[in-house]
Amino acid sequence: MSRSLSVTRLLTLLVFFSFGSMLAHAQFRASLRGTVTDQQGAAVPDATVTLTNTATNQKMVATSDANGIYQFNALGPAPYSLSAEHAGFKTRVLDNVQIIPEQLNSLDLQLEVGEVAETVTVSGTTQTLDTETIRAHLSESMSKYKLPVEITIMNDLPKNAVGKIDKPTLRKRPVETR
């Protein structure tokens, strides 16, 4: 009797902790992705991008890829500061970056030519691009106007896709005639 009670308690604790870890994991699904460019719009590869949680001073560092793309995943709800630096450019700092929970956020950074010791700081609230709202409006517009060709780049990408897109995918949709 005592042994079965111990096994039951052990299984109950195991289920409880498993469920608790799933809940904790589900709370931090926001991500931030963007492109680091120069003033002419050319990608800046190997730029050091730092995302700082201003409430805890915890820092995450990423390096932009050959296309200038950087990404941070599993972001919790908090105020952030974002900075980018690369040799030959001024350090760019964005304060008060607001992350929209539970989705991919987008924030591009443009670097100015200069020395890393020089810093360009943008204060105030920096809003990320709300990709979920854009996706909804795009889908609604495509349906409303019954366009014959639907550009499905955003719909074909997983929420936290990493990598480059070579060319857009086009999918033909039959045109309704009345």
Q: How far does Cα 46 stand from its chain's mean position?
A: 18
Whole-prediction pTM: 0.57
Closest to 85 (Cα-Cα) out of 105, 70, 103: 70
- What structural domains and CATH numbers belong to the chain? 29-129 (2.60.40.1120), 131-172 (no CATH)
Residue 138: how many CA atoms within 13 Å on its side-chain side?
Answer: 13
Report the amino acid identity of residue 172.
K
Residue 64 and residue 45 in contact, taking contact as beta carbons nearer than 8 Å: yes
For 75, the enclosing helix (H) or strand (E) is strand 69-75
Burial class from Cβ neighbours inside 10 Å (0-12, 13-18, 19+) for residue 44 reads buried
- Other residues' Cβ atoms within 10 Å of the Cβ of residue 105: 22
Query: In the chain, what is the straight-line distance between the N-terminal and C-terminal CA atoms, in Å?
Result: 75
Tokens 């390096």, residue located: 63
Mean pLDDT of successive 10-residue segments in the chain (178 residues)? Answer: 65 64 60 95 96 95 97 92 94 91 90 76 59 58 53 45 47 54
